[in-house]
């Protein structure tokens, strides 16, 4: 008997022979040869250590290949928060995804196919945005909401004063504070009023030859209640200086579901010269900063040198146009999800889990808008409740499922999970069970 026959590790297949497997050839075309070869080499190492049979190298390499070259993993959002900042805020609609794919290659983003001449960049998206907000004389898009505010204050007030209420000196995500953001543009802040009360007269008293603009900011991620007052847009518009209003969440027109949320069209009709907002919040589109307002003001911003540095790419423009022209976005579908339908889906999932002997229950669950929109507004719904320890196993599984841990339970709120993903969610919970039980914290627990 030869050494090779005694020790199967000596029969490790050659790398080029494994790479010739049709499945790996196809994967190399999609992921690149280096990525595929890394998994082949890893599988060969497992053979040498005795963990893997030599004939299983190709299968192991195929199984270990990543789904894509991006380190960003797709997740099922079962938190109940529609615009979850940590999960990328608004999910794109199928129409927007299709538009992004179409624009990924060469595209007429700044070219007129009919005349063969250069054309206005992103004209389709900007036309769609203007049509959605009739009160806007002109519109512009930059790469996020903060960029919109930076461009506005730079173009209108660099080296001059921005008059703002003390009650609107907010902090946005990840520790970015509005005062610091504006100061970075070279403008000086002129604070007026108090934290809880500011009147139009306070703004008027602060105006002078150094005033660049008045900035009114909607405190979208918190509420101040009690003895409060704030100057209205129409009152500030009568003061005779440029009025910039940051509405934040990107609501373009009034909506009965969100009666307290300011919208771009109404704000412009009330007299604002410029409105800034985000595209990846209530609009339900890609990350973008929207600027809508008087034609001369928007044109002033468009021609500012900073606008070039902040402009959006062709993929964002394609997704934005498709979102504006297309069917209802996933964001609005989630906001308007029927609680009765959510409960029926949760009951079906729990019944399927119970048949497998998995602990689960249907429980009420209040969702939230998220993304700084409509603070305090609750969205009644239903969730599947599991033992708390399922949260980690689900979050680290494939597909990754992000739920909400609350009072010793892992809640899987179905508001932001499409009905066509229920089967994937069920599969993910079943796959998580062995890992939960390995920790010794599985089925013996009860769900209350």
Residues 324 and 351 both lie in one domain:
no
Q: Give, in order, the Cα–Cα distances in Å from 200 to each of 190, 214, 220, 232.
A: 14, 11, 21, 8
Residues 295 and 366 both lie in one domain:
no
Model confidence band, residue 443 (pLDDT cutoffs 50, 70, 90):
very low
Boundary of a domain, candidates 310, 328, 346? 328
Collapsed DSSP state (helix, strand, coil) of residue 139: strand
Model confidence, pTM: 0.87
**Structural domain of residue 254, as residue ranges?**
92-328
Let me know if residue 444 belongs to a domain.
no
Let me know if residue 131 belongs to a domain.
yes
Q: Which of 237, 280, 231, 211 is nearest to 135 (CA)?
A: 237
Residues 310 and 344 both lie in one domain:
no
Residues 120 and 230 both lie in one domain:
yes
Q: What is the pLDDT of residues 93-143, one digit of tens each?
A: 999 999 999 999 999 999 999 999 999 999 999 999 999 999 999 999 999
CA distance 78 to 402: 6
Residues 261 and 188 both lie in one domain:
yes
Residues 127 and 201 both lie in one domain:
yes
Boundary of a domain, candidates 328, 360, 386? 328
Model confidence band, residue 448 (pLDDT cutoffs 50, 70, 90):
very low
Let me know if residue 446 belongs to a domain.
no
Collapsed DSSP state (helix, strand, coil) of residue 137: coil
Residues 114 and 255 both lie in one domain:
yes
Which is higher by pLDDT, 372 or 324?
324
Let me know if residue 369 belongs to a domain.
yes
Q: Is the dihedral of CA 177, 179, 183, 187 positive or negative?
A: positive
Q: Do the bridges between strand 117-118 and strand 138-142 make them parallel or antiparallel, or are there none, so unpaired?
A: unpaired
CA 312 and chain centroid, separation: 16
Residues 159 and 23 both lie in one domain:
no
Let me know if residue 448 belongs to a domain.
no
How many CA atoms are closer than 13 Å to the CA of 109, on its beta-carbon side?
A: 18
Residues 431 and 400 both lie in one domain:
yes
CA distance 76 to 149: 32
Let me know if residue 430 belongs to a domain.
yes
Please answer whether residues 385 and 403 qualify as being in contact, where contact means their C-beta atoms are separated by less than 8 angstroms: no
Place of tokens 């206005």: 120
Residues 342 and 274 both lie in one domain:
no
Total domains in the chain come to 3
Residues 161 and 176 both lie in one domain:
yes
Boundary of a domain, candidates 264, 298, 328? 328
Q: What is the pLDDT of residues 70-85, one digit of tens each?
A: 778 889 999 999 999 9
Helices (H), 190-313: 200-206, 233-237, 264-269, 295-302, 305-310
């Amino acid at each position: 008997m030869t050494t090779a026959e005694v020790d199967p590790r000596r029969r490790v297949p050659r790398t080029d022979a494994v790479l010739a497997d049709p499945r790996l050839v196809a994967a190399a075309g999609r992921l690149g040869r280096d990525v595929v070869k890394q998994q082949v080499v890893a599988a060969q190492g497992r053979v040498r250590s005795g963990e893997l049979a030599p004939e299983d190298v190709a299968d192991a390499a195929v199984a270990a290949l990543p789904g894509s070259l991006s380190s960003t993993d797709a997740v099922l959002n079962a938190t109940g928060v529609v615009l979850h900042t940590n999960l990328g805020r608004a999910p794109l609609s199928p129409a927007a995804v299709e538009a992004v794919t179409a624009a990924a290659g060469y595209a007429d983003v700044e070219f007129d196919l009919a005349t063969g001449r250069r054309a206005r960049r992103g004209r389709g998206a900007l036309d769609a945005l203007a049509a959605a907000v009739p009160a806007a004389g002109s519109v512009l898009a930059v790469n996020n909401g903060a960029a919109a505010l930076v461009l506005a204050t730079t173009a209108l007030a660099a080296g001059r004063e921005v008059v703002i209420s003390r009650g609107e000196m907010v902090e946005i995500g990840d520790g970015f504070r509005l005062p610091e953001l504006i100061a970075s543009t070279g403008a000086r802040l002129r604070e007026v009023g108090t934290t809880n009360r500011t009147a139009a007269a306070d703004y008027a008293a602060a105006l002078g030859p150094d005033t660049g603009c008045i900035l009114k900011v909607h405190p979208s991620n918190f509420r101040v209640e009690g003895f409060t007052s704030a100057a209205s847009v129409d009152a500030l518009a009568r003061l005779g200086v440029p009025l910039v209003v940051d509405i934040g969440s990107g609501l373009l027109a009034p909506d009965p579901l969100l009666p307290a949320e300011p919208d771009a069209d109404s704000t412009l009709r009330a007299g604002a010269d410029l409105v800034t907002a985000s595209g990846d919040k209530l609009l339900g589109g890609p990350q973008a900063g929207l600027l809508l307002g008087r034609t001369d003001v928007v044109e002033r911003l468009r021609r500012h040198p900073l606008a070039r540095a902040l402009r959006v790419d062709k993929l964002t423009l394609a997704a934005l146009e498709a979102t504006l022209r297309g069917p209802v976005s996933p964001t609005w579908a989630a906001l308007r999800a029927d609680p009765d339908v959510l409960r029926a889906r949760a009951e079906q999932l729990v019944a399927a889990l119970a048949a497998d002997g998995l602990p689960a229950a249907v429980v009420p669950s209040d969702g939230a808008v998220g993304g700084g929109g409509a603070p305090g507004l609750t969205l009644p719904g239903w969730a599947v409740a599991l033992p708390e320890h399922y949260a980690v196993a689900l979050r680290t599984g494939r597909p990754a499922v992000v739920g909400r841990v609350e009072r010793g339970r892992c809640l899987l709120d179905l508001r932001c999970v499409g009905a066509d993903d229920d089967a994937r969610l069920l599969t993910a919970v079943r796959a998580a069970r062995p890992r939960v039980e390995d920790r010794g914290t599985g089925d013996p627990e009860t769900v209350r």
